[in-house]
Amino acid sequence: MTKDGAGDRTAAAARDAMMHEIARDVRLVADRLGKDEFDPAVMAALGRVPREAFVPEGRRAAAYVNAPLPIGHGQTISQPFIVAAMTDMLALRAESRVLEIGTGCGYQTAVLAEIAARVYTIEFVAELGESAARRLESLGYTNIAYRTGDGRAGWPEHAPYDAVIVTAAAETPPPALVEQLAPGRRMAIPLGPRREGQELCLLIKGADGQVARRAILPVAFVPLVSGPRCQD
């Protein structure tokens, strides 16, 4: 067996351990999630995405630890359990078109792209967004469109979306993102103050445009920031 083969076995074992831990955590908070297991399609997607490709080289030994990790620019790669939870909340289908606000390193983007037909992702930090695009393209993802800039305005040219996911915390749901969500569809977004008291929330938009909100889990995300308009 080659050295690379041994490394592959190690990563596979660590990924399996992560998957078992996520499944255990779902059962522990089943009362808040309203279920005791995630959609098999979500778990299968997590099992296919090589998380070690999305973390800084010096932290790859911890790639499959069920915890967030810093990726630079004051940003983090989310805890795998939270990635799974947010993806599951969207109730994605093979034909879904998803708007993601906060590309980051691209890990959540990859999980979405494993399930959905098309992912439109926006990153505020240009260097992160460009790096994520290169990484995702090198891994063979062809169903992702990229933008850099202020994600609060969304990407209206491709609306309405079957799902919207926001990977940074806002005080309230950005109106443009609610507007671009199709009726009957779902948004996963952390809401609350900048550093504490945040809740991961599920928003469901009714046919009349009204939005029902349900708090799912306490979380801690970096804040959703405003800035320059988006650029393709």
Strand pairing partners for 200? 190, 217
Please report whether residue 226 resides in a domain.
no
Please report whether residue 229 resides in a domain.
no
Report, in angstroms and rounded to the nearest whole number, the Rg of the chain calculated over CA atoms: 17
Six-digit token string for 154: 């969304």
Distance CA 77, CA 107 (A): 7
Task: Give 137-157 pLDDT, tens digit per residue.
Answer: 999 999 999 999 999 999 999
Strand pairing partners for 201? 189, 215
User: Can you give the pLDDT at residue 2?
Assistant: 34
Name the catalytic one among 78, 96, 131, 138: 78
State yes or no: is 78 an active-site residue: yes
Distance CA 70, CA 173 (A): 25
Helix (H, G, I), strand (E, B) or coil at 122: strand
Please report whether residue 232 resides in a domain.
no
Please report whether residue 150 resides in a domain.
yes
- DSSP annotation of 215 reads E
Please report whether residue 190 resides in a domain.
yes
Longest dimension (CA), the chain: 60
Under 8 Å between Cβ of 131 and 104: no
Name which of 2-6, 30-34, 59-63, 180-184 the model is least confident about: 2-6
User: Can you give the pLDDT at residue 45?
Assistant: 98
Please report whether residue 54 resides in a domain.
yes
CA distances from 124 to 17, 175, 180 (A): 33, 18, 19
Find out whether the peptide bond into 160 is cis, omega within 30 degrees of 0.
Answer: yes
Please report whether residue 224 resides in a domain.
no
Reply yes or no on whether the pLDDT at 52 is more than 60. Answer: yes
Reply yes or no on whether the pLDDT at 56 is more than 90. Answer: no
Under 8 Å between Cβ of 143 and 79: no
Reply yes or no on whether the pLDDT at 6 is more than 60. Answer: no
Distance CA 41, CA 146 (A): 24
Cβ burial, residue 124 (10 Å; 0-12/13-18/19+): buried
Q: What is the mean pLDDT of residues 101-118?
A: 97
Please report whether residue 73 resides in a domain.
yes
Q: What is the mean pLDDT of residues 62-87?
A: 92
User: Can you give the pLDDT at residue 227?
Assistant: 61
Residue 121 domain boundaries: 3-219
pTM of the prediction?
0.92
Whichever domain contains 145, its CATH number is 3.40.50.150
Q: What is the mean pLDDT of residues 182-190?
A: 98
Residues of the chain with pLDDT > 70, as a percent, come to 94
Number of domains in the chain: 1
Helix (H, G, I), strand (E, B) or coil at 30: helix
